[in-house]
Amino acid sequence: MSFKVLVPGSLKEALELLSDRGKPIAGGTDLLVRIKRGIEDPDLLVDITKISELKIFRRDSGKLEIGASLTHAELLSMDIPPLLKRALSLIGSRQIRNLGTIGGNIVNASPAADSLPPLYVHDAEVRLVSLEGERVLPISDFIKGPGQTDLRKGELLLSILLRDFPDDYRFIYRKVGQRSSMTISIASIAVAYRLDGGLFEDIKIALGSVAPTVIRAYKAEEFLKGKPISEDILRKASLMIEEVVSPISDIRASEEYRRKVSGRLIFSVLEEV
Amino acid sequence: MRIRFRINGEERKVEVREDMTLLELIRDVLHLRGTKSGCEMGECGACTVLLNGKPVPSCITLAVKADGAEIMTIEGISNHPLIDAMVKEGAVQCGFCSPGMITNLVSFLDESANPSREEVREALSGNLCRCTGYQKIVDAVMAVKGGKKE
């Protein structure tokens, strides 16, 4: 572990450093652990936490833009969508939430990242910048696999764009872990739905920790639309969820447990009614 | 890199290696040994200090982040009712986790004047204790809450 650190005050300066040889660091809650374990050995870290563009927080023409270097604790004190608020409150510990950033949680691309299921439900987009220019991608295209993203050399995640759901939507976020706090999720679900006369008028379902990336359960969503909110219907939807997941066994849980639990999680909608 | 910061109210200017952690700066350069080195991975909370009033694991915080900041370590928190409450409730056994616990809890009590036991336990989720089992630590927080402004 031996590296230099530069702390650019402007975005342009940061992008110049990153296009050359620097690796961005924000909270460092994952990166510094990887460096200490010898998994990564960068020679130049570019601290991106002093750049004002990465602290943007604004609602503009129906879209919320969230700067990538806002910490989980900072976002928890802001007016953010309820699903995201719930998920961020379950990340790590108080200490970790004070350091870790939403951009870091995304770029790490862990299938267990707590912020991702809500962002998938919101069909969030990521805004990426480099010296060459800017591009905006759906988050589901940006994240390619465990720890893998479409981030190009010299590119920086600037912000996350999403739309608030209308006021009559209801939300569920559930995280199954070995304990209730400071835990890596075994399976998680984020749901946004709207009921109309006891029927699902709209529903979006995202699942975490049960596939190489966070996934949407599109088949279950389509099936549920127009159907009543009942145990029988949810049982059918849960089987569709079990089919779409592709979990692994690891030290936290077995593949079979994750599959069963991810199906069961959809029943959480009954508790919210 | 030359950095400037305030620690426990005292202004300091120090030359640091850029790959040094805040924990190394505090223990090895400033010789403040109340802050402990535990897991070195940001999970056990023994190294918790307040950076601009917020608890952070100093073992995974770069020392350069202290530049221009205000740092508080356990040495700067000698006169808090929580410390008396922890002694009274028997919330200290080997004492290794106590500086990190107290540093985190002091800031928590500033933010939440009247927390429930459940909220206290959540606030402690990033501080591991292998001796007392948390019960007495939570008891100490519950004993001090509301009474801290006396």
At residue A35, the 3 state secondary structure works out as helix
- Confirm whether B149 is domain-assigned: no
**Cα–Cα dist A187/A171, whole Å:** 17
- Assess if residue B150 is contained within a domain: no
pLDDT digits over B58-71, tens only? 999 999 999 999 99
A136 at B interface, C-beta within 8 A:
no
Inform me whether the C-beta atom of residue A182 falls under 8 Å from chain B C-beta atoms.
Answer: yes
Give the ipTM of the model, two decimals please.
Answer: 0.94
Question: Tens digits of per-residue pLDDT, B79-127?
Answer: 899 999 999 999 999 999 999 999 999 999 999 988 999 999 999 999 9
- This prediction has a pTM of 0.94
Nearest to B48 among A29, A95, A182 (CB): A95
Scan residues 53-112 of B and list those with Cβ closer than 8 Å to A.
54-57, 60-62, 64-65, 67, 104, 108
Asked if A94 reaches chain B (Cβ–Cβ under 8 Å), the answer is yes
What average pLDDT is seen over chain B?
A: 94
- Is position B36 within any domain? yes
pLDDT at B150: 38
Q: What is the pLDDT of residue A272?
A: 67
CATH of residue B125's domain is 1.10.150.120
Contacts for A74 with CB less than 8 Å, ≥ 6 apart:
none
Q: What is the pLDDT of residues B43-57, one digit of tens each?
A: 999 999 999 999 999
Helices (H) and strands (E) in chain B, counts: 5, 5
CATH of the domain at B41: 3.10.20.30
Residue B7 sits in the same domain as residue B61:
yes
CB contact under 8 A, A3 and B121: no
As a whole number of angstroms, the distance between CA B49 and CA B104 comes to: 7
pLDDT, one tens digit per residue, over A69-121 is: 999 999 999 999 999 999 999 999 999 999 999 999 999 999 999 999 999 99
Distance (Å, whole) CA A262 – CA A82: 21
Q: What is the pLDDT averaged over residues A6-20?
A: 96
CA distance A71 to A97: 7
Domain extent for B51: 2-73
A258-268 confidence digits (pLDDT tens): 999 999 999 99
Residues B66 and B81 occupy one common structural domain: no
* Sheet strands (E) in chain A: 4-6, 23-25, 44-47, 57-60, 63-67, 125-130, 133-138, 143-145, 148-149, 156-163, 170-176, 187-196, 199-208, 215-216
Residue B54 and residue B86 in one domain: no
Q: Do B127 and A93 touch (CB under 8 A)?
A: yes
Q: Tokens at residue A216, please?
A: 């949407």
- The reply to whether B66 and B93 lie within a common domain is no
> What is the amino acid identity at position A142?
F
What is the pLDDT, as a whole number, of residue B113? 82
Among A125-134, A150-159, A255-264, name the one with the lowest average pLDDT. Answer: A255-264
Assess whether pLDDT exceeds 60 at residue A231: yes
B69 and B82 share a domain?
no
Choose the mutation target among B56, B127, B128 for the interface with A, i.e. most A CBs under 10 Å.
B56
